[in-house]
A and B are shown apart, each in its own frame.
Chain A
């Protein structure tokens, strides 16, 4: 373990902290940095189980349509969910560019790419809301069948996660604007970017398991 960080009791780092002889990125250089980052990876593992259970429920209830609309019928128009997928993928790319800018110590580009990510995230949520409202108007609601309950809950939970992430990202943008790129902000930015990439991973599975399965079946 990198003792240079933990033994130093004055908070400042007297030498560049290293692990196995290699210098650590900025987000690891505060006292809390390594702890918070590891803690967040573990939190992502729990969120993975959470979504795993929602996927399991969806799998089991997918064909329980009670004579109502099936997934094949519901997802026959591919433009909606394809657009959502491309937007979210791009937002994942732009958030990685934000980290890239952070590691190049470029505050303006960091904030810029984060704002682009937020805008893309908002577009994603907007498209998803439009999709849900459209289904609602056609009578495909959560209370119609088990399949629809599963669909709205799985996709809706992901959408809530994204919405929370947007608010969180805005909170971090404000801090970077005020305090610049330091160890604390680097840690916070790295963690929100992990969260954002995780949500993209979950979406890849929603795209495959929910929408594409409907198209294929």
Chain B
């Protein structure tokens, strides 16, 4: 037997000490990893384990002036299957194909596909979703989601706009007030294993969604409906391309109705609102959709024609280059430099004063006023009236005014501008400027949005809009109201006359470019009561067939609308006495 020597013991101790050193190093390494690197690796690991599922926030509702919901949310369901949670595949296939009206083969393919989640059908009505849920099938998930829903269908379609797949606004107010309406999506953070399967026992980290704010509009569904019917009626009668109408409170710029017929169905915005004969490419189809969605009150400009004489008159009166009693003579044309510019009445209006010229809508009278003003003053007033910029309406894509550059404006241009030709503005700009002239001289910002409330119905913001006072004097404003009332009472706008109401207005018939095509835009701008305007309306009829005079076809529509909405707005009919009639 060989004994165990002392040097063996020493060697064993050396080995132990070496082990100790090795363990020491490893403990140091562990300490480094688990204390100093801990945050780093914990974050990386967490990123690996956590899955984020978002909870959609309900989009804010849109209400009209009466508190009627005009844009709402509908709960819809998305039905999906999770392959490895399915216990009875045949039953799942049977139930889903029957309830969702999807072919059994399609369902089978998705049920048998090895994936974490397969969507069978989305945008399913809630009742159907509830029915599927009631079947309590293993591996079938019913997730609720919100979808925008417009209870009035096509009403004010181009104003309200609609939302896309992610519930984001695409056009109209839905885009403009996106930040208020969209809310904040919540999230559920879940822990998953390496296959991505959620772990039931792990605590969910949930961030609740914040629902979007509600938007209250000045738009009134009843007025909008009535205006839409009237517009549709005239469009059909005159076989016009389209008819637009804006009805606004001239005192504060609150828009009560904005019609652009033909409207489209907001609940089905990606389908054209007319039958198409030819097949088109996707790109062309998208162009057609874009065209259908255009709001011509603000997105398109036109030559306003005679309605613009309101502005020329206001500028002339304000600059005192003309007064009501100034005398003019109309031979049926006016020669400016080398051009002979015709009046719409070829025979001429003969001798007339300024008031009569306005009532006759006589071009030479307004050319004369324009020339008296001169380019510099004309431009000064255009600027002062806010005519050259945009109105600042709370709708996206507003077009600007297309006007001659001041430097390029000669006498001929000045003359044509004076009666509303050779430049373009939007109907919105025209009605806004006219409002500002007749309301006592305060330039207002037209708008729909009145206030914003959060989901607890607390007002969080009263929307305010810029105003500019004294763009014309009160005196000029009053004179203008008088002139325009006379236009309706006895002038070209007499077809807008309503018994018992004092209505002011101006007609226009503008020839579209190119002039040779003989296509017209007939329009009428009217307001009531003439002494204290509470409502102003502008109708434009695009390419009417047959008689196309604004005074003949546009003015009666406004009269018809006023006849109905003035009592609705609480503006009482004045008792008509024999005396007054005689006086008129």
Chain A partners chain B: no
